Amino acid sequence: MNYCMEQCQGLKGNNGECCHIRDKNWIIGKVKDDKELLARVQKEYDKNLTWNDLFIDYEEGSKMFPDKPDWQNKNLYPAMRVRPELEGSPCVFFDNGCKIHNIKSDVCKEYKCQWLVNREVRDKFVYVESKSQDQTCIGIKGGKFAGVVYKYGRVSFGKEEDENGNLPLQFQYDIVDNNGIPRESFGDDFFNLIGDILVLVMEEQTKHESVNRKDNIK
């Protein structure tokens, strides 16, 4: 199933949420391949289209959405042009789906919403109960770290916001079973993987606690 086109963010029949601005802090940029995309669109879609038909520069965009931080960030331009006069402020190429899906920009090809990331991450681990440990551990499924079991230590948020206005997640971890994989192999790719897993674990825990609170109120 193409979740982006058929079940965007887990909602059946929904598509193209990332193609709309709506009320979120979101910009479809930075488009680094703007010249290449323009050439593709002129060849495959409409030879009369210009750069300004496809893209928005900082001077225009910062005034279009003055209350959205991403639109005030010069590093996120040029951005795909959107249509504020339409509901949800969609990309100019969105009409119940992307009209240039097969030749779209790299920024669109590479983007994954948190729902899609979580879905992919959820297939990469299992919870492991260990008699020798005082907490539930995480077991990695598949990939170069398959069979590795680890647990999280202290988890906290940084005090200073990153360039996107988010507080960075900081955490410690201990490898319980390296499954024969040399310790020097646990570099940035492992750290990024278990960081993604931690975000999902925290979200699942928050949802579980929310459900429990509602049940207690009833």
Residue-wise pLDDT tens digits, 69-123: 999 999 999 999 999 999 999 999 999 889 999 999 999 999 888 778 788 888 8
The whole model's pTM is what? 0.66
- Long-range own/partner contacts, residues 69-75 (CB < 8 A, 24 or more apart): 69/25, 69/165, 70/25, 70/26, 70/27, 70/164, 71/27, 73/27, 73/163, 75/30, 75/163
Q: What is the CA radius of gyration of the chain?
A: 21
pLDDT digit string (tens) for the chain, length 218 residues: 566 666 676 667 667 889 999 999 999 999 999 999 999 999 999 999 999 999 999 999 999 999 999 999 999 999 999 999 999 999 999 998 899 999 999 999 998 887 787 888 888 999 998 777 778 899 999 999 999 999 999 999 888 777 656 678 899 999 999 999 999 999 999 999 999 999 889 988 887 665 455 555 55
Q: Are 126 and 148 in contact (CB under 8 A)?
A: no
User: Which tokens in the block code for residue 77?
Assistant: 């331009």
Report the relative pairing of strands 79-80 and 125-128 from DSSP bridges: unpaired
Q: How far apart are CA 197 and CA 199, in angstroms?
A: 5
The dihedral through the CA atoms of 112, 9, 21, 49 has a sign that is positive
Name 128's bridge partners.
137
